[in-house]
Amino acid sequence: MAPSRRFELLATTVLVVALLAAATTPAAAAEGHYEFTDDAYTAEQGEVVSITLEAGDEANDTFRLHLGSADVGFAAHATVVDENDDGEVTVRVNTSMAGQTNASAYLSAAGEDSLSNASQSTSRLSHIPDAGDYDLRIGPSDDPNATAHLVIEENESATDPISGTPESEPSGDPDFNESVVTANVAGSGVAEIPVRFGGTETVTVSIEADETGFSTVLELTDADDDGSANITVDAAADAESPRDIVSVSDGDDAEFQSMNESVPTLEAGMDYDLGVAHNGSVVNVATLVVRDEPVETTTSIATESAESTTADTTELTTNASASATTEATGTSDTVVPGFGAVLAVVALLAAAFLAVRR
- Does the 34-153 domain belong in CATH 1.10.287? no
Determine the Cα–Cα distance for residues 178 and 195; give it in Å rounded to an integer. Answer: 8
Domain boundaries along the sequence of the chain: 34-153, 175-291
Digit-coded pLDDT (tens) for 127-160: 899 999 999 999 888 889 899 999 999 988 876 5
- pLDDT reading at 290 higher than 70: yes
**What's the rounded mean pLDDT across residues 105-128?**
89
- pLDDT reading at 20 higher than 70: no
Q: Give the pLDDT score at 297.
A: 55
Digit-coded pLDDT (tens) for 160-198: 555 433 433 444 789 998 999 999 988 899 999 999 988
Q: Give the pLDDT score at 294.
A: 84
Sheet with strand 34-36: strands edge to edge: 34-36, 48-55, 88-94, 107-109
Digit-coded pLDDT (tens) for 240-274: 999 999 999 877 888 999 999 999 999 999 999 99
Summary mean pLDDT of the chain = 77
Q: Are 100 and 201 in contact (CB under 8 A)?
A: no
DSSP percent split of the chain into helix, strand, coil, nearest 5: 25, 35, 40
**What's the rounded mean pLDDT across residues 41-50?**
93
Q: Centre a 10 Å sphere on the Cβ of residue 145 and count the other Cβ atoms it contains.
A: 18
Name the band, by pLDDT with cuts 50, 70 and 90, for residue 317: very low
The answer to whether 34-153 and 175-291 have equal CATH topology is yes
Pick the CATH number of 175-291 from 2.30.30, 2.50.20, 2.60.40, 1.10.10: 2.60.40
Taking the CA atoms of residue 124, residue 151, residue 109 and residue 71 in that order, the dihedral angle to the nearest 10 degrees is -40
- pLDDT reading at 64 higher than 70: yes
Name the band, by pLDDT with cuts 50, 70 and 90, for residue 330: very low
Q: Are 176 and 284 in contact (CB under 8 A)?
A: yes
Q: Give the pLDDT score at 60.
A: 80
- pLDDT reading at 213 higher than 70: yes
Q: What is the pTM of this model?
A: 0.48
